[in-house]
Each structure stands twice: as C-alpha cells, then as structure tokens.
C-alpha cells in the first residue's frame, strides 16, 4: 500500500529547490538586462554631450575657412587694389576661431589624438602667430603690399596637412561610430539572449506550477475518493449495527415465543390435579423457566442500555415504601436459604424523593439477590441512610452487607466487567449471566451515582449504592390503590391475533379462565377482517406475524369506521426496544404487553382500560349510558413501559399485585353516595371496613387506603389531568374510576364529589370545572385526615421496621 | 479650480505682453560698426551697432555649454527685446553667422525661453576668434529639454544677421 501511495505522495523539497533556482536565475537575467540597458543609456548620454558640435564638422569647417582665407589672399595677389584690411582681418579671425575647435584637448575625449592632428594644429598656430605679427596690432595702419604675399606664402604649405587632417578625422570618427554601433549590437544581442533566457525560465516556471497544480488536483481527488470510501465504510458499519439490533430484537422474539408457551403450559398444568412428586418437578421446571426468562431479560437490558434507549423517568416516590417493598419481596428467598434479612435505617430518611422507582428497585433487587445467592449462613443486611457529602448534594446510600464467601482482589477487579462472574467455578456453582452488576452500575451512573464494593475472601462483601436523590414533596394526591385491587374487568369479547399455535392456545386458556370470550386469528390479515366483520371490546395483537404483521393490521383496523375502528388494540411483543413501542404507538396501538404474557400483567392491562369498581350496584346504576367498552384511546406517552424484571427478582414478584378476587365474590350491593346534594354528606362510611374488607387480612384496608392516597396507580392523577378543560367523555371516565375506588374504601364524601364530576353536562364552563378540581383535592386531603382520626390509617403513611 | 488656476497663470503672461508695447525703443541710426542686422521681408533691415545693443535691458546668467569645459557667465539683451527693438514680428527666425552658417529658430523660443544675444563672456567682450562678437545662448541649465542637440545647434555664434519671416 505504501508503495502504491508513494508516487502520489507530495515531495516538496526538490520542487521548492527548483523554484528557488529559477527565481534566482530570473533575477540574475533581469539584473543583466538592466545593466546592459543602463550602459546603453550612458553611451547615449555621452554621445549627446558631444553632439553639441560635431567634431568632423569642425575639421571640415576649419578647411573651409582655410580655403576662404587662401582664396582671399590669392585674389589680392593677382589684384593688389582689392586689398581690404578689415575683410582680411575678419577672414583670419574666422579661420583662427575654427582652430580652437580642433585642438587635441577638445577632441581627445572622442578621437585618440594622432601626430597628424597635433602637428597640423601646431603648424597652424605657428602660422597664426606669424600672421598676427605681419598684420600688426593697429587696425588703422595700412598694410604693405608685401604682407599679403608673405601671408599667402606661409599659408599655402598648410593646404595638404589641413585636408589630410580633415580626412583622418572623418575616418577616425567613422571607425568610432562603427565601434559604437558594434557595441550597441553586441549589447542588443545580450539583451535578446537574456530575454530568451527569461522566456525559457518563465516557461519552466509555468511548467513546474502546472505540475504542482496537477499534483494538487490528484491529491484532492485521492482525498475525495478516500472520503467517499470512508463514508461508505461508515454507513456500512451503521447498517451492520442496525442489522445487529434487528437481529437481537428478532432473536429475542424467537426465543421468547416458544418460551411463552412453556411458561403458559406449566401454569395451566399446575392448576390441574397433581401428586406431590409431579408438583415438585413442575415447580422445578417453572423455576428453571423463570430463571431462563430472567437471563433473557438481562441480555435485553444490556442491549437497550448499550443503545442508549433506556431513559430514566424520575417521579416523586415514597422511599420508605419502596424499601419496604424490596424487603418484602426479598424476604422469601432469604428465608428459604435460612438467612436473616434485616433492613436498617441508619439516618433520617426523606419521605419522598424524585427517582425512577422501577430502576432503583431493579438495582436493589440485584444487590440483595446477589448477597442472598452468595451467602449460605448468617445474615444479609441493608443499611439505608443519607450521606452529607461536603461540597455536593446529599446522597442516598444503600449498603448491602452479607456474610457470604467474599471475593479476592482479582475477582473484585473483574467484578463489573461484562460476562465476568467471580471465577469459572463460581459460575458453575451459582449460574447466572454475570450481567446483573453491570446493568446495576450502568443504571446507577445514569442516576449520577455509582456502586462501590468492599470484600475479602471468607469475610463477606459489602456493596454500596450512592445516588443523589432530590427530596421532593408528596404528590398532590396520595398514591392510589393498585387498579386491579378494587377493580374488576367485565367479560369482554377479545380478538387474539397470534401466529404461534402454542401461544394462541395459551392465551385462549388464560383469557377464558378470566371469563372472557376469545376469537383467534393466525395472522394480521385475518385479524383485520375479523375486526371489520364483528364487534370486539379489545384486540391482542402480536407484532411479528406472517402475511400481515401487527403494525399493518392495526393500521387496517384504525382505518375502519367507528366504533370498530376505535377498538382498543394491545401490542404483544417479545422485543423490549423503545423503537418497537414507538412504532406500535404510531400504528395506533393503545397499550403494550411484553411477551411472554404474564397472567397478572394481562389482567392489569385489561383493568387499566376496562376496570370497574368492585361494587357493581352503584356503578351500574350510574353507568347506564356508558357502553362496556370505553373508547378513550391511551396516548402513546401514557403507554406503560414494558416492565422488566431483574436477575434476582423472585418469580413471585407480581403475586402481590394480584387483585383479591375474593373481594369480588363477596361484595354486597352497597351504596350511600348517590345524588345527595341536599344534606351534608359524611366523610366516611363507617361500615366499609367491615363490609368490604371483613374477610381479608386485618391491615388490607389500611394498605389500600395508603395506596389510594399516594395514588400509586395514577387514578387521581388521571382525573386531575382531565379536569383542566372540557367536560368530555374522558373526564367522565376518570371521575368514574375515582368514584368507584372511593366508594369501595368508604370515602363517601370524595365518592360523592367524583360522582358530581362524572355527571357534569358537556357545556360546563372551565371555571366550574376548576372549582370542582379544587374541591376534589381539598376533600382528598380532608378524607385522609378523617381516616387518621378514625384510626383507619396511621401516620406516617408507611414505615419500614427492621425485621 | 482649473479655471482660477489658469487665470492665475495667465496674469504674469498678460503683464509681460502688456509690457511689450511700452518697450518701443527709439531706434537711432548706428554710429559705429554694424554688428547685427534684423531684416523683415518687405522692409529695409534694422542695423545695430554694439552701443545700441548695450543700451537694451541686459540679462546675465551662468550656464554649462558644450563649447566650454566649465560653466560660463553670459551677458546680453533678451532675444525678444532685440526683436521688439527692431519691431520685427514673425513665426520663424533665421540666424546667419559671419561665416554664413545658417540655422532656423522658431520665434516662439524667444518668448518661451529667456534666451539672450550674449555680447559678454564672463564680463568681457567676445572677439571673433572666441565666437564673438554676438552669441545666441539658451539658459541650458534651466531645463533638461534644452540640453539637447536641437537647442545646441540653434545657439548660433558669430551671429551677424537675423531674418524674420
């Protein structure tokens, strides 16, 4: 690769050297040309200076004046009468004036002086001296006739030298001009050569620049190609990642579908007649299956955490209650191993904190579950307290201490790493994916906290979870009852769309046992046809099906005219990805059930939508106008997230939320709250505890009251949301739910107000609704006080006593 | 602006032109030897002897010339004064020397340059042997334009006659 790239690689040093060389040569050439032109300029200047009087012209002028003087003297020689002294003197003066111009000291700058010049000038000067002597200095004195004769005799011999000197000067000057011309020609040649050289250099310069430009272009092309390849590689990688996600989702679906069948069938067999041995074997099979489910859920958790799809939803949460729940659920496993489980408060603990309760519980379940799993004798202790971190917000601190096998340094170092679990022997001994701690730590860090660990072999371990949990006020209305607790779902007409025959069979059995009528379809297309052809109260729709999948089928159903087009549709799916939930919501689905479908979850989901108060009489009387199937579609944001259990979560986790069906059976018709607007309605129905909860454990009523006041199920919150605007059907439904619960619990005044809201005409003004809203919350608070006074509940709401 | 500048420049020129008619010198008949004749076609020539030339306003300056190795001082009347004294007007002057050397000089030169008809060299009269008695001299040092063969050749020495056309 390197060799391939070498030719295109830039090598600036040699090119730079060439450029500098060319620049240097160009500058030299320019300097030479400038020098030559300066010399030519100087030459021209010199010649101009002496042009003032042409030298050769001066020599010939001298000869002319000589000839004129000689002519005058010859005339006088022939005719002495013509002698004019003034004229003679002027001629002589003119001749003399020309002599000065040809003296060597004046001409030597241009013509090298020769004997012919100096001798002749000397002879002329001698003649002038003699002539001046002959003529004398007095201009008025007449000249003797002999004087011109003598002058002529002196002048005649000068004719040849004067002429020869003129000829010599002419030749010398011509040679000079020739030499100068030759010089100019030579310099012109140099100039031309230099210009040609410059041209050559410029061409070379241009060639190098062109080469550079071409190289640059090649490099930029290469870079572009590289960028293109990188882009392709990036999108390939992204596509691969998407494929991986899809694979995970599909795989989980494929794994969980038969799994649902296993669990479902096991549950059905457990209900049948069994001998002890079979029951034991079945229990083992169910526990194994549930363990497998836990592992599968861990894998899904990791994959969703990895994709950043897990979002925390902090809500005001009663911390003591949360701790008590965790403790209650972990006590069973601890007891079954003969371990003591103690939960201790080491400092004051705030009543309410803002936290994602599900995720916090998940972490605590994991830590406690691990502690129990790795401890054979002794105790597992959880200390709960607040740590005041100097310079930071106070942190909630959960410390889980066990007296188990402990860990050595190398094990601690690998502890939170994926797939690592103590060592291989531990893995064989205890099983598990080893993902639990990694998930817990990821969640703790998402909450801006962390998990630390201290341990030594044989000395047990202590895991500490620290999270900054903002203290908050109790929610405006207390959390309610588990919806299922006091609600019951009437018999429904259920359409089930599920491709897998075992799952179909399982769901059919499950729903039938709950008293519902079931219609089964093998795929989405058949389901859409069935939903178009007859009325159903609810549709359970598997997402992955042949022919037409659940999304398309739901869209097809939503395209039907009302009421068949608005039938509630619950999604059934094995993948827990947030995308899938969003897609389901977009397709128009109302709720979301993770597979394998647990009986409790299905019951809860149905209750959420169809639940009616246990006291049928009063409700039925007021419900005359309402159809059995409520139409209010749950908005996507309200869709319940798929609750994931955790590694250590016991299989019985959901048992507590099972509604006391006995209550249903024993509920007598009972009503005090009706249309009583005249007399002041009493706050409480003193008979309720005995009539409704008489056969149940003694603290059940109190627990349900606390649940209701803390609004765990959001019953009051939903009504509060609806109380902001119009008196529509959604408001009536929400009020109806509150009314039912309040009546069951014996909160007569509150039930009465809820009944008023439920029967509001649709043109009620917003102000009136607001007034009722205020009244409802005021009465809620006062009902709580009344319950306290009556001894139905104790303050504070719930506390956790050490075991 | 250009208008006002031009008018400012025009002021001294107008004064100079206005001064010309005032310098109508009385032309006496020459009493000595005639050294300069100014001829205008259609009129008899006006002759000057040296005394008449001396009486005209004299101007003196020192300048380098091609004929002497060092700068020399020349003295004499301005050529335009001489022409005015002879009431000679024309576009072209022809200078004729004692030896019949002839050279043509544009009359504009006389107004444009302060050229003089020199009669003294370094304060002394010039004999014929030293390019006298009269020598037309341009103020060569005043302008680079004048230091060229064209003006050197127009500087006639041993001046004898000016023909005005």
Average pLDDT, chain B: 81
The strand ranges marked E within chain B are: 34-40, 46-49, 58-65, 68-77, 92-97, 102-106, 116-118, 120-121, 124-125, 135-137, 159-164
**SS3 for A8?**
helix
Q: What is the pLDDT of residue B116?
A: 93
Is residue A670 helix, strand or coil?
Answer: coil
3-state SS assignment for residue A669: coil
d(CA A49, nearest CA chain B) in Å: 7
Q: How confident is the model at residue A578 (pLDDT cuts 50, 70, 90)?
A: low
Set of chain A residues whose Cβ sits within 8 Å of the Cβ of B67: 52-53
Mean pLDDT of the B119-136 span: 89
Chain A nearest C-alpha distance from B65 (Å): 8
pLDDT band at A227 (very low <50, low <70, confident <90, very high): very high
**Share above pLDDT 90 across residues of chain A, in percent, rounded to a whole number:** 9
pLDDT for res A760: 80
Contact A49 B128 (CB under 8 A): no
Residues in A touching B128 (Cβ below 8 Å):
90, 93-94, 96-97
pLDDT band at A697 (very low <50, low <70, confident <90, very high): low
Q: How confident is the model at residue A621 (pLDDT cuts 50, 70, 90)?
A: very low
Burial A9-45 (b: 16+ CB within 10 A, else e): eeeeeeeeeebeebeebbeebeebbeebeeeeeeeee
pLDDT score, position A98: 87
Residue of B nearest to A69 (CA): B99
DSSP letters for A467-482: E---B-PPPSS-BB--
User: Would you state the pLDDT for residue A383?
Assistant: 92
* A35 against A658, higher pLDDT: A35
At residue A680, the pLDDT reads: 62
- Alpha-carbon distance A598 to A596, whole Å? 6
The pLDDT of A438-465, averaged and rounded, is: 88
Cis peptide bond N-terminal to A563, omega within 30: yes
List the single residue in B with minimal CA-CA distance to A49: B66
Q: For chain A, say whether B158 makes contact (Cβ under 8 Å).
A: yes
The answer to whether the CB atoms of B131 and A52 lie below 8 A apart is: no
pLDDT at A50: 52
Contact A694, A686 (CB under 8 A): no
Mean pLDDT over the full length of chain A: 76
The length of chain A in residues reads 803
B130 at interface of A, judged by CB pairs closer than 8 A: yes
Which of A51, A90, A96 is facing B98, going by the closest CB pair? A90
The answer to whether residue B149 neighbours chain A at the CB level (below 8 Å) is: yes
With an 8 Å Cβ cutoff, are B66 and A51 in contact?
yes
pLDDT at A678: 41
Q: Are A387 and A397 in contact (CB under 8 A)?
A: yes
A681 DSSP 8-state letter: P
Spatial contact of A390 and A380, defined as CB atoms under 8 Å apart: no
Question: Considering chain B, what percentage of its residues have pLDDT values greater than 70?
Answer: 83
Q: pLDDT grade, residue A214 (50/70/90)?
A: very high
User: pLDDT at residue B16 above 60?
Assistant: no
CA distance linking residue A701 with residue A692, whole number of Å? 9
User: Could you tell me if B34 lies within 8 Å of chain A, comparing CB atoms?
Assistant: no
Does residue B99 sit at the A interface (CB-CB below 8 Å)?
Answer: yes
Q: How many inter-chain contacts (A to B, CB under 8 Å) are there?
A: 38
Answer whether A757's CB lies under 8 Å from A735's CB: yes
At B66 the pLDDT is: 81
- Asked if A544 and A253 count as a contact pair (C-beta separation under 8 A), the reply is yes
Q: Which residue of B has its CA nearest to A99?
A: B129
Q: What is the dihedral of CA A317, A609, A669, A493, to 10 degrees?
A: -150
Q: How far is A112 from chain B (nearest CA, A)?
A: 18
Mean pLDDT of A777-803: 69
pLDDT of residue B136: 92
Name the band, by pLDDT with cuts 50, 70 and 90, for residue B118. Answer: very high
How far is the alpha carbon of B129 from chain A, nearest alpha carbon, in Å? 4
Confidence of residue A576 (pLDDT cuts 50, 70, 90): low
What pLDDT does B21 receive?
41
pLDDT at A558: 87
pLDDT tens-place string over residues A723-767: 776 777 778 878 877 877 787 788 888 888 888 888 787 777 777
B66 CB within 8 Å of a chain A CB: yes
**pLDDT higher than threshold 50 for residue A117:** yes
For position A399, what pLDDT does the model report?
93
- How many CA atoms lie within 13 Å of A707's alpha carbon, on the beta-carbon side? 22
> Using one digit for the tens of pLDDT, what is the confidence trace for A374-411?
888 888 999 999 888 777 778 889 999 988 888 888 87
- Complex confidence, ipTM: 0.75
Report CB contact under 8 Å: A52, B67.
yes
**pLDDT, average across residues A470-489:** 57
From A51, A96, A97, residue closest to B149, measured CB to CB: A51
Q: What pLDDT score was predicted for residue A131?
A: 86
- Cβ–Cβ below 8 Å for A53 and B98: no
Of A754 and A435, the one with more pLDDT? A754
Best residue of B149, B153, B156 to probe chain A, by most A CBs closer than 10 Å: B149
pLDDT tens figures, A451-461: 998 888 888 88
The model's pTM: 0.38
HEC string of A360-397?
HHHHHHHHHHHHHHCCCCCEEEEEEEEECCCCCCCEEE
Interface residue B61 vs chain A (CB under 8 A): no
pLDDT band at A13 (very low <50, low <70, confident <90, very high): low
Report the pLDDT value the prediction gives residue A623, as an integer from 0 to 100. 37
């Amino acid at each position: 690769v390197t060799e391939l790239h070498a030719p295109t690689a830039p090598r600036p040093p040699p090119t730079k050297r060439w450029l500098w060389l060319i620049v240097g040569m160009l500058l030299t050439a320019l300097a030479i040309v400038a020098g030559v032109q300066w010399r030519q300029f100087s030459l021209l200047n010199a010649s101009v200076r002496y042009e003032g009087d042409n030298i050769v012209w001066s020599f010939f002028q001298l000869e002319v004046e000589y000839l004129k003087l000689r002519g005058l003297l010859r005339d006088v020689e022939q005719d002495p009468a013509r002698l004019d002294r003034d004229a003679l003197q002027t001629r002589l003066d003119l001749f003399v004036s020309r002599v000065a111009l040809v003296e060597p000291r004046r001409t030597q700058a241009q013509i090298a002086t020769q004997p012919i010049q100096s001798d002749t000038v000397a002879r002329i000067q001698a003649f002038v001296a003699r002539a001046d002597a002959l003529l004398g200095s007095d201009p008025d004195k007449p000249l003797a006739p002999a004087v011109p004769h003598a002058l002529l005799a002196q002048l005649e011999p000068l004719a040849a030298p004067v002429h020869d000197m003129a000829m010599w000067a002419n030749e010398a000057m011509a040679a000079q001009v020739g030499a100068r011309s030759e010089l100019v020609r030579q310099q012109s040649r140099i100039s031309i050569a230099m210009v040609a050289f410059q041209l050559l250099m410029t061409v070379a310069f241009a060639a190098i620049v062109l080469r550079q430009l071409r190289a640059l272009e090649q490099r930029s092309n290469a870079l572009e190609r590289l960028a293109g390849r990188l882009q392709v590689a990036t999108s390939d990688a992204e596509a691969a990642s998407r494929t991986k996600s899809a694979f995970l989702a599909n795989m989980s679906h494929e794994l969980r579908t038969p799994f649902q069948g296993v669990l479902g069938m096991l549950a059905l067999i457990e209900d049948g007649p069994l001998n002890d041995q079979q029951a034991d074997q079945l229990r083992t099979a169910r526990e194994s299956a549930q363990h497998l489910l836990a592992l599968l859920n861990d894998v899904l958790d990791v994959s969703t955490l990895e994709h950043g799809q897990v979002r925390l939803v902090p809500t005001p949460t009663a911390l003591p209650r949360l701790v008590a729940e965790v403790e209650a659920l972990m006590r069973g496993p601890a007891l079954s191993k003969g371990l003591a489980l103690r939960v201790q408060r080491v400092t004051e603990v705030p009543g309410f904190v803002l936290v994602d309760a599900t995720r916090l519980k998940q972490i605590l379940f994991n830590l406690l579950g691990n502690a129990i799993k790795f401890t054979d004798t002794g105790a597992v202790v959880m200390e709960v307290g607040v740590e005041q971190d100097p310079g930071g917000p106070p942190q909630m601190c959960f410390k889980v201490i066990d007296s188990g096998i402990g860990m050595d340094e190398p094990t601690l170092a690998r502890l939170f790493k994926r797939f690592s679990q103590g060592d291989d022997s531990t893995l064989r001994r205890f099983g598990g994916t080893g993902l639990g701690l990694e998930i817990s730590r990821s969640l703790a860090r998402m909450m801006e906290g962390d998990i630390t660990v201290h341990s030594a072999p044989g000395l047990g371990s202590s895991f500490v979870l620290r999270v900054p949990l903002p203290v908050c006020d109790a929610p405006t209305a207390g959390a309610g009852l588990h919806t299922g607790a006091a609600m019951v779902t009437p018999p429904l007409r259920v359409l089930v769309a599920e491709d897998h025959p075992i799952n179909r069979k399982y769901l059919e059995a499950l729903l039938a046992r709950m008293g519902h009528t079931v219609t089964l379809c093998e795929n989405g297309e058949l389901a859409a046809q069935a939903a178009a052809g007859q009325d159903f109260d609810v549709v359970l729709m598997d997402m992955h099906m042949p022919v037409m999948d659940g999304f398309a089928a739901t869209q097809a159903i939503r395209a039907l005219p009302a009421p068949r087009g608005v039938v509630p549709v619950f999604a059934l799916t094995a993948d827990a990805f947030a995308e899938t939930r969003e897609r389901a919501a977009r397709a128009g689905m109302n709720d979301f059930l993770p597979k394998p479908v647990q009986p409790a979850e299905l019951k809860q989901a149905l209750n959420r939508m169809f639940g009616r108060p246990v006291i049928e009489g009063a409700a039925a009387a007021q419900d005359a106008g309402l159809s059995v199937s409520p139409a209010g579609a749950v908005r996507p944001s309200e869709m319940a997230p798929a609750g994931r259990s955790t590694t250590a979560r016991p299989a019985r986790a959901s048992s507590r939320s099972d509604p006391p069906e006995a209550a249903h059976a024993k509920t007598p018709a009972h009503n005090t709250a009706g249309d009583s607007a005249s007399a002041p309605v009493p706050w409480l129905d003193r008979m309720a505890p005995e009539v409704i909860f008489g056969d149940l454990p003694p603290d059940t009523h109190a627990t349900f009251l606390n649940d209701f006041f803390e609004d765990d199920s959001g019953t009051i919150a939903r009504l509060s949301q609806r109380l902001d605007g119009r008196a529509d059907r959604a408001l009536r439904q929400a009020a109806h739910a509150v009314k039912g619960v309040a009546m069951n619990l014996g909160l007569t005044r509150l039930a009465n107000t809820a009944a008023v809201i439920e029967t509001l005409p649709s043109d009620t003004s917003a102000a009136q609704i607001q007034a009722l809203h205020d009244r409802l919350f005021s009465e809620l608070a006062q009902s709580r006080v009344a319950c306290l006074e009556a001894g139905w509940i104790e303050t504070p709401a719930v506390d956790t006593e050490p075991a | 602006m250009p208008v006002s500048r031009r008018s400012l420049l025009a002021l001294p020129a107008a004064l100079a032109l206005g001064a010309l008619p005032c310098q109508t010198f009385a032309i006496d008949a020459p009493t000595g030897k005639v050294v300069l004749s100014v001829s205008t076609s259609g009129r008899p020539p006006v002759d000057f002897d040296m005394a008449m030339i001396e009486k005209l306003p004299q101007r003196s300056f020192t300048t380098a010339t091609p004929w002497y190795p060092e700068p020399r001082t020349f003295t004499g009347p301005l050529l335009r004064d001489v022409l005015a004294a002879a009431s000679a007007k024309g576009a072209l002057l022809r200078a004729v020397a004692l030896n019949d050397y002839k050279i043509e000089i544009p009359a504009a030169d006389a107004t444009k340059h302060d050229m003089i008809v020199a009669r003294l060299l370094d304060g002394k009269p010039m004999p014929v042997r030293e390019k006298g008695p009269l020598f037309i001299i341009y103020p060569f040092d005043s302008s680079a334009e004048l230091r060229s063969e064209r003006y050197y050749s127009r500087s006639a020495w041993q001046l004898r006659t000016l023909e005005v056309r």
